[in-house]
Amino acid sequence: MKHGLSDRLTIIAELTTKVGMREAFLDYTVDNLGLSRSAAGNIAFEILIDETRPNAVLFYETWESAEAQQAYMAWRVQRGDLTVLMTFLEGEPKFTALRGIAA
């Protein structure tokens, strides 16, 4: 086999804020961005807005491994951060997990 999967994991989280809540949501997430970026195993963490959909926000995350991302999520749940985050959202986030090809 000439290729395999990279250990790195990229997550794209698609979130839809409640009407009128996007700015408050962005304030909350930007205030917490440093914690996400400094988490063990984090390579990149970006907050993106969709200019065509005013309530759509995406998180673009790259992690050294799936285990690092899972440990981060468990830590966020333990802190209660996901409960707070959900108060801003219209529904459940959609997560896409992507692995690169190691060539």
pLDDT tens digits along 60-73: 999 999 999 999 99
pLDDT score recorded for residue 6: 86
Within a domain: 92: yes
Residue 103 lies in a domain: no
Residues 76, 78, 84, 86, CA torsion sign = positive
Q: Read off the pLDDT of residues 67-94 as tens digits, 9 standing for 90 and up.
A: 999 999 999 999 999 999 999 999 999 9
pLDDT at 26 over 90: yes
- Domain span at residue 55? 4-97
Selected residue with higher pLDDT from 15 and 7: 15
As for how many domains the chain has, the answer is 1
The pLDDT of residue 91: 94
Q: Is residue 44 part of a domain?
A: yes
Identify the pLDDT of residue 1: 57
Q: Which DSSP symbol is given to 15?
A: E
